[in-house]
Structure 1
Amino acid sequence: MLKFLKTTYRILIIPYTILLLYFMFLGFGREVMSINIVRLTPLASTIQFVENSLFLKDILINIIGNFLMFLPFGFLAWIFPKFYDFKTLILSFLFVLIIVEALQYFTRLGVFDIDDIILNSIGMSLGFLLMNFLERIFAVKH
């Protein structure tokens, strides 16, 4: 079963990443903004979003969505074994996230938001924990 999961992951992660990048830059009706925006106060934009949202569903989609959308990147060790070391994974992941956030800023197709980096990193970290859990479960069964 673990071999099947790893093979499936290896096949799907590239199209998934492309789809995610599409959503981050072009999806959801994004248009070029008239100004560049940087949000560097941790959790400020998330708290503001929660306070200004009328529906719990919108809050859950935004916050949990940020976790879940990046959860698959916690499994990158299945392709690149060096990422079994969490420190290597998180530093590499943060580096890439900062580049993506900077690209959103410079293209004005999004906002450089520290909250996105925090929430996406939590999601990736949860994925890493899930990967380790799955490997332990399936290793026990053999």
Structure 2
Amino acid sequence: MYLLCLLNFVTIKFFGSFQAVQKRINDVLLQREMYGIWNISLEPFQSIKASVYSFIRDPGFGVVTLFLVGNILIFVPLGILLPLLLKKPSYTKTMLISLGIIVSIETIQFVTCLGIADIDDVLLNMLGSTIGYLTYFMSKKMMHSNKNMKRIKP
């Protein structure tokens, strides 16, 4: 269920209007045709830097902040859920599966013209997944520690 919601929220962005989705696709195709601008950004930190500079000029919780924070927070659950689903969870497995999902989403955005495939999205999404995994790991350690403390007490 999480992956379906993620796919909709990040890629399709269907919130009740098929016309809005079709307009986004048409806009991307028009940019390709008229200006030769493709919906892909492979220069690392380009959009992150632009967002940080914009935030410095106009601090507040606006679109720029939403881009940075949203791209991280929306993938935190992935980093928590994947280890719960794996028989032998590990950081490496969780990150590789996360990377596969994230790159798949970016590829879908590029191919379907539903968005911009951006390397910065991959970096921010992986950060979110890492935060999620660390949350899972710390929670597991705390639960294990609590079990040991209960055994020690008479």
Structure 2 length-normalised TM: 0.74
Structure 1 spans left out of the alignment, 5+ residues: 1-14
Tell me the secondary structure at the aligned position of residue 49 of structure 1. helix
Tell me the secondary structure at the aligned position of residue 133 of structure 1. helix
The more displaced of 87-96 and 104-113 is 87-96
132, 136, 146: which one aligns with 1:141: 146
| Contact 2:43 2:119 (C-alpha < 8 Å) held by counterparts | yes
Say whether 1:17 aligns with 2:19.
no
Aligned to 1:112: 117
Same amino acid, percent of matched pairs: 26
Amino acid at match of 1:74: G
| Contact 2:94 2:133 (C-alpha < 8 Å) held by counterparts | no
What is the number of residues matched between the two proteins?
Answer: 127
Aligned to 2:47: 45
- Cα deviation for residue 16 of structure 1 reads 2.2
- Cα deviation for residue 48 of structure 1 reads 1.7
110, 133, 139: which one aligns with 1:128: 133
- Cα deviation for residue 88 of structure 1 reads 1.9
Could you list the per-position Cα deviations for residues 38-89 of structure 1 after superposition, in whole angstroms to 9, with x for gaps in the alignment?
111111012123334645212332211111110011121111134x221122
Amino acid at match of 2:94: L
The more displaced of 65-74 and 46-55 is 46-55
- Cα deviation for residue 25 of structure 1 reads 2.1
Aligned to 1:91: 96
Structure 2 spans left out of the alignment, 5+ residues: 33-37, 148-154
Amino acid at match of 1:21: L
C-alpha separation in 2, matches of 1:19 and 1:91: 21
The 5 A counterparts of 1:63-102 are 63-75=68-80, 76-82=82-88, 84-102=89-107
C-alpha separation in 1, matches of 2:112 and 2:145: 48
Q: What's the Cα RMSD here?
A: 1.8
| Greater relative contact order structure (CA < 8 Å, 6+ sep) | 1
Tell me the secondary structure at the aligned position of residue 134 of structure 1. helix
Structure 1 length-normalised TM: 0.79
The more displaced of 22-31 and 73-82 is 22-31
